[in-house]
Structure 1
Amino acid sequence: MTSATSSSPGGAAAAARGARRTERLLNLVIALSATRRWLTKEQIRTAVPQYADCATTTAFERMFERDKEDLRELGVPLETGGEDPLFEDEAGYRIDRDAYALPEIRFTPGELAVLSLASRVWQQASLAGPATRALVKLRSLGVEPDESSLVGLEPRVRTSEPAFDPLYAATRDRAPVSFTYRRAGGEPSVRHVEPWAIVSWHGRWYLVGHDRDRDDSRVFRLSRVSSAVKRIGRPGSYRVPEGVDPREVVAGTVGTVQTRPARLLVRSGAGLALRRRATSVEPGPGAAGEGAGEDVVVVDVSDVETSADEIASYGADVVVLEPPQLREAVVRRLRGAAGLGPGPGAGPGAGPVRQQGVGA
């Protein structure tokens, strides 16, 4: 007799129960951390979506008691008390946010560099759908949550690639997909893939997986996926081969990414991330010229489109001097954000474009 695994019905059910429990505990922490008021059991039952599955009050109270013990075993400082100790108010619960907070942490310059890089991937801390509904329910009960205390509870990766989210979900669920892919210098074609992993390599995102049409492993650059990603099979319908290192697969396929210098006109006090990785920084044209109070910052660029996303986010504070392809990509984004079509300033022969001047 073989032991049960996560691929068996019993293992899948156990994994699902574990996922629901984890989500319930997370939502309970969110509810108890989102306010400095004491929350009664009834308020907690209303705020945490998973408690709605309890058919009776007794079932809810048993589940809540187990959850309280679980939180305390995890080191969460759960407190019991009331608004006024002189009156026998109904017991309330909350998390001591001061005790729950991390102490001051110091990092070396190298560690700060790694965190800075990671922050470019994890750009936004946000709440999952059930957790957001929990905050809405707290407001409906007259409890105003302090969402600043919740930052970082469930970060999500944000990228400029539309294919990232569906492909990431497919790798997580082990679900085969199809999409139209445009190879460099080639015609678009529909690919049928079993996704293994998504990898960031030299500022670009890649999918590693098994290409069913070619019956071999392949690497796909996400920016070249030119259609919606569709699932073509059930979750868990394939296995990722053991011993596969996705980063090694990408490195062996893509190789070293070539970089080239880009000259940027950056206003003083702005573009700090660009300045940190600059190869050189020199004063601008001078007090009497257009570059008054500005510096010429030179950075290495490996991908025009990815760099254009970053530079366009600085708006009027950063202007691309060269190369022309990068300048055109930035102007295209700014004009698109302003609801304008391609303008004459985006041509290869145009001079540097001041960001607030697009569409003028």
Structure 2
Amino acid sequence: MAARKSERLLNLLITLLVSRSYVTKERIRSVVEQYRDAGDEAFEKMFERDKEELRSLGIPVEVGYVDRAFEDEPGYRVERAAFELPQIDLEADEAAVIGLAARVWQHAGLASATSDALVKLKAAGVSVDRGALNVAQPQLAVEEPTFEAFWEATRSRTPVAFDYRTAGAASATTRHLEPWGVVSYNGRWYVVGQDTDRGAPRLFRLSRVGGAVRHDGRPGAFEVPEGTDIRALTESLAPPAAAHTARLLVRRDAAHGLRRHATPAGASGAGADAVPEGWERLEVAYGRTGGMADEVLGYGADVVVEAPEDLRALVVDRLRAVMATGAGATAGAPR
């Protein structure tokens, strides 16, 4: 409910902000999606509450007349000049942080609702200033489909269950989490919280979550421990910084997950440096040798380690252990 109200307030703000003239109450009702389905009395109450809430947030909602010759139809708008902040001088690092924060939500649903509202305003003959949207432009570019589910669960304090595959694992396992926060760290998105199966805080990479995120309790079922620093906790739980580089042979059109953080390792040559037909040589930065070995083994015969020697030896040892138990094979890999 809180998320729906926030979306409604933002849509109302955008409607009042982009209009160059006053917008009537009925026009606002037809433009803002959440108002359209409400009855007359419910709309009146909702609109009055939203209008006052915007004002309480310091947003100057003005009342005027659409046609000054006939002062019988009041309208509303937000004057951009009164809404914008004055000139602020920031240091370079401060400006970088503010710039990042200002681009935090790039959500397809919001973009669609905004475009729909602008089209309806234009169709009604209302002059629209698209540039005014720059003062209310939260964006967030996220590829992981589970981001919104984890974000909502974090906001509502709802326990969740989900299927998760660790690096190198053959299959996913179901995990149960009280999500405390969703964070971006080293170019990847993670959810951090209390793993109720392990009884301790854990960090999960969103790109490794499979399927839907399921509610595993009621909203408000838990509280984040007082004094928890989500960023510091993420840094303590995250994999170590990539201080090593692996040189790998990767079969063409395979190991796409690995390729996301790999780079070409140079041209092929003669003898030992030649790349076998149908393969590519890539380099991958990594932190823990064990973690990198897990990832390589997860791709089976499609990835072969050339260097460093300690990583290659660990992968070979694990493959031999698997072969000794009859659990797998690596036929077809180049040597």
CA displacement 1:108-145 (0-9 Å, x = unmatched): 122134345557x7373773665555445434433353
Select the residue among 226, 242, 255 that pairs with 1:258.
242
CA displacement 1:137-187 (0-9 Å, x = unmatched): 434433353333223536242223333333223323333434332323333
Q: Aligned pairs, how many?
A: 260
> Is the contact made by 1:80 and 1:93 (CA closer than 8 Å) also made in structure 2?
yes
What's the counterpart of residue 36 of structure 1? 20
What's the counterpart of residue 129 of structure 2? 146
- Structure 1 distance, partners of 2:55, 2:27, is 20
Select the residue among 180, 184, 189 that pairs with 2:167.
184
CA displacement 1:309-338 (0-9 Å, x = unmatched): xxxxxxxxxxx7x546xxxxxxxxxxxxxx
Residue type at the aligned position of 2:203: V
What's the counterpart of residue 211 of structure 2? 228
Residue type at the aligned position of 2:233: V
Secondary structure at the aligned position of 1:198 is classed as strand
Of the structure 1 ranges 36-45 and 136-145, higher mean CA displacement relative to structure 2 is found in 136-145
- Structure 2 distance, partners of 1:198, 1:51, is 31
Unaligned 5+ segments in structure 1 are 1-15, 262-302, 309-319, 325-343, 350-360
Matched, 1:347 2:280: yes
- Structure 2 distance, partners of 1:346, 1:112, is 45
Secondary structure at the aligned position of 2:237 is classed as helix
What's the counterpart of residue 276 of structure 1? none
CA displacement 1:28-72 (0-9 Å, x = unmatched): 222211211222222123223444465446x65565455444444
> Is the contact made by 1:37 and 1:143 (CA closer than 8 Å) also made in structure 2?
yes
* Residues 1:28 and 1:104: Cα distance change in structure 2 (over 3 Å): same
- Structure 2 distance, partners of 1:116, 1:306, is 26
Select the residue among 180, 185, 192 that pairs with 1:196.
180
> Is the contact made by 1:34 and 1:147 (CA closer than 8 Å) also made in structure 2?
yes
**% of aligned pairs identical?**
41
Secondary structure at the aligned position of 1:229 is classed as strand
* Residues 1:48 and 1:239: Cα distance change in structure 2 (over 3 Å): same
What's the counterpart of residue 340 of structure 1? none
What's the counterpart of residue 201 of structure 2? 217
- Structure 2 distance, partners of 1:61, 1:186, is 56
CA displacement 1:73-98 (0-9 Å, x = unmatched): 43323333335534546333222122
* Residues 1:251 and 1:95: Cα distance change in structure 2 (over 3 Å): closer
Select the residue among 25, 28, 31 that pairs with 1:47.
31
Residue type at the aligned position of 1:214: R
Select the residue among 79, 82, 94 that pairs with 1:96.
79
Residue type at the aligned position of 2:30: T
Matched, 1:208 2:171: no
Which gives a bigger RCO, structure 1 or 2 (Cα 8 Å, sep 6+)? 2
Matched, 1:171 2:104: no
What's the counterpart of residue 233 of structure 2? 249
**Map of 1:1-360 to 2, 5 A cutoff?**
16=1, 22-52=6-36, 55-56=39-40, 60-61=43-44, 64-88=47-71, 90-115=73-98, 118=101, 122=104, 124=106, 127=110, 133-143=116-126, 145-151=128-134, 153=136, 155-194=138-177, 195-225=179-209, 227-236=210-219, 238-243=221-226, 244-254=228-238, 256-259=240-243, 323=265, 347-348=280-281
- Structure 2 distance, partners of 1:99, 1:50, is 26
- Structure 2 distance, partners of 1:88, 1:113, is 47
TM-score (norm 2): 0.61
Residue type at the aligned position of 1:181: Y
> Is the contact made by 1:125 and 1:154 (CA closer than 8 Å) also made in structure 2?
no
